[in-house]
Amino acid sequence: MNHQTIPDAIQRRYDTAWLRGPRVSRLEERRLGYFRLDAETAWELGKSNVGVFVGTCPTLGGTIERLQQLEQSTLAPRWLLVAATKKMAAVIIQRWFRERQVARLATTTLRLPKVHRNIVLATPESLRRIGDNECREIAAIIAVDMLCQIHQARSGIQHGNFFAANDRPQLIANYRNALAHDNWLPPFVLLTQKAAKSVPTDSVARAYCLDAWWFVDGASLRCGRPPPLQSECVNDGSDTYPGERVDSPTADQHGSI
């Protein structure tokens, strides 16, 4: 892709590879290359309406530890975390935003969204309450859905004793569409402990109004600024970082549903 086709605002927003991990095939989990959420990748994902399915993530605690590396100054690009439940949002606040406070948060009194430096935390239902200033320069919408259940909560659909009054994935898709600029959408990333092969990913993609997925190995996902290229990049043509080496890319670079 010609970098000259990518707007300057996008290149500034993704001045480094904020998210990194091995690209894999859905069923065999075969390595297909290396995923880096830099300007070129973000532009391709946003223009092609392709989501990033990050399966086999660690537990919520381990996932929070990785996501914390995205925290920068208030002037940095913003990351919108969409927790699957208010209870999960409370855990994120407790372990991350308020790590020095001992008191537990009661979900019954928890008000969302919450803003912590350049991180915005919400549930699908509270997205509508995000202010204009908080939604500027969103680098990605990251659904933290460890059991991969948000997509099941469709309006008018009943699962056992559970009845969905809100179309939760549509709320996320609508908010993402509202951030569109010149037919480009902020990347959508789904973090889950589930392996992609154990999930009907075609149905999940449709629920979020996506055309396809790229699949990434969550066990090897890295967040935040990578090590300095000049001193720590692996100098063997693989363009990877220490501790993040994977197999060389194959011809099959485009993951599918």
37: domain CATH number is: 3.40.50
In a domain, 246, yes or no: no
In a domain, 236, yes or no: no
Range among 4-8, 93-97, 194-198, 242-246 with highest mean pLDDT value: 194-198
- Phi-psi category of residue 56: left, alpha or beta, with phi > 0 → left and psi -120 to 50 → alpha: left
Summarised one tens digit per residue, pLDDT across range 55-98 is 999 999 999 999 999 998 777 889 999 999 999 999 999 999 98
Mean pLDDT of 152-171: 69
pLDDT band of 109, cuts 50, 70, 90: confident
Summarised one tens digit per residue, pLDDT across range 239-251 is 455 445 443 333 3
pLDDT at 229: 59
Q: To 10 degrees, the CA torsion angle through 67, 69, 70, 72?
A: 140
In a domain, 193, yes or no: yes
In a domain, 178, yes or no: yes
Token pair listed for 93: 């606040």
In a domain, 249, yes or no: no
In a domain, 56, yes or no: yes
pLDDT band of 156, cuts 50, 70, 90: low
In a domain, 215, yes or no: yes
As for how many domains the chain has, the answer is 1
Do residues 191 and 62 lie in contact, with contact meaning Cβ atoms separated by under 8 Å?
no
Do residues 141 and 175 lie in contact, with contact meaning Cβ atoms separated by under 8 Å?
yes
Do residues 160 and 153 lie in contact, with contact meaning Cβ atoms separated by under 8 Å?
no
Q: Which domain holds residue 61?
A: 3-225
In a domain, 156, yes or no: yes
Summarised one tens digit per residue, pLDDT across range 10-48 is 999 999 999 999 999 999 999 999 999 999 999 999 999
Q: What is the pTM of this model?
A: 0.85
